[in-house]
Amino acid sequence: MQDNIKLKTINLDLFYGKFHALKGVNLEIKKNAITSIIGPSGCGKSTLLRVFNRMNDLIESVRITGECLLDGENIIGSQAGLNELRKRIGLVFQRPNPFPLSIYENVLYGVKIHGLLEKRNPDEVAEGSLRKTGLWNHVKDKLGDSAMSLSPEQKQRLCVSRLIAMEPEVILMDEPCSALDPIATAKIEELAIELKSRYTIVIVTHNM
């Protein structure tokens, strides 16, 4: 596989029971770039994103054939390393979904449950992650406040910060702006452009 390809699907088919949702998908996702997936509602965009971090494993009726390569290794059907995979490939949801905890606890939530804080200073992880999403200056004096007090755009930035704290390689975004107004949307899109030098980004969007 070429060095600049992070993810690649080969003849990928996905069935929900008898329903054939993804048909022969052959796709290459480049490293350190933003790849947009655009298409009508119900065409399988979210389903495809969920293939990349194996979220479909949670749905009993799902059957997948074909391959999905991450850095050249097939992730379909392998039982090993699901936790490892979810650390490498994070998903940002349509609706910002911070937890009803403080801003500080939200940023560190993923790293804590994955046991990734042992060799890292929590304050530094929190600050670094909040800086990368441009949220630090807004929240540095109120890290103990509830995440629920933030605006929708800030909540979405916080969810991206929470992912970045895990040092992922790929960030999947499923219509991350659909709950935001146009100004907030533009800002989240600018954020994606800033992040692409460090991460591989796949974004489902309606916004050309």
Q: Which does 6 bind (CB under 5 to 8 A by kind): ligand ADP, Mg ion, none?
A: none
- Binding residues for ligand ADP, rule: CB under 6 A, are 16, 19, 21, 41-47, 59
Token pair belonging to 129: 């992650």
Contact partner at residue 132 from Mg ion, ligand ADP, none, CB < 5 to 8 Å by partner kind: none
Beta carbon of residue 45, minimum distance to Mg ion (angstroms, whole number): 5
Partner from Mg ion, ligand ADP, none contacting 47, C-beta within 5 to 8 A by type: ligand ADP
Tokens 């107004």 belong to which residue?
A: 181
Of 16 and 99, CB closest to ligand ADP: 16
Task: Tell me the residue nearest to Mg ion as measured from the CB.
Answer: 46
Answer with the entry of Mg ion, ligand ADP, none that 124 interacts with (C-beta below 5 to 8 A by kind): none
Query: In the chain, which ranges are continuous DSSP H helix?
Result: 45-52, 82-88, 103-113, 122-132, 136-139, 152-164, 182-195
Report the nearest approach of ligand ADP to the CB of residue 15 (Å).
Answer: 9
Nearest to 175 by CA among 190, 185, 167, 163: 185
Report the residue from 9, 46, 56, 156 that binds Mg ion according to the rule CB under 5 A: 46
21 touches, from ligand ADP, Mg ion, none (C-beta below 5 to 8 Å by class): ligand ADP
In the chain, % helix, strand, coil (3-state, to 5) comes to 35, 25, 40
Q: What does the alpha-carbon distance between residue 95 and residue 98 come to, in Å, rounded to a whole number?
A: 9
On whether the CB atoms of residues 171 and 195 are closer than 8 A, the answer is: yes
Q: Check if the beta carbon of residue 10 is closer than 8 Å to that of residue 72.
A: no
Q: Which is closer to Mg ion, CB of 46 or CB of 200?
A: 46
> Least Å distance between CB 12 and ligand ADP?
13
Binding site for Mg ion (CB under 5 A): 46
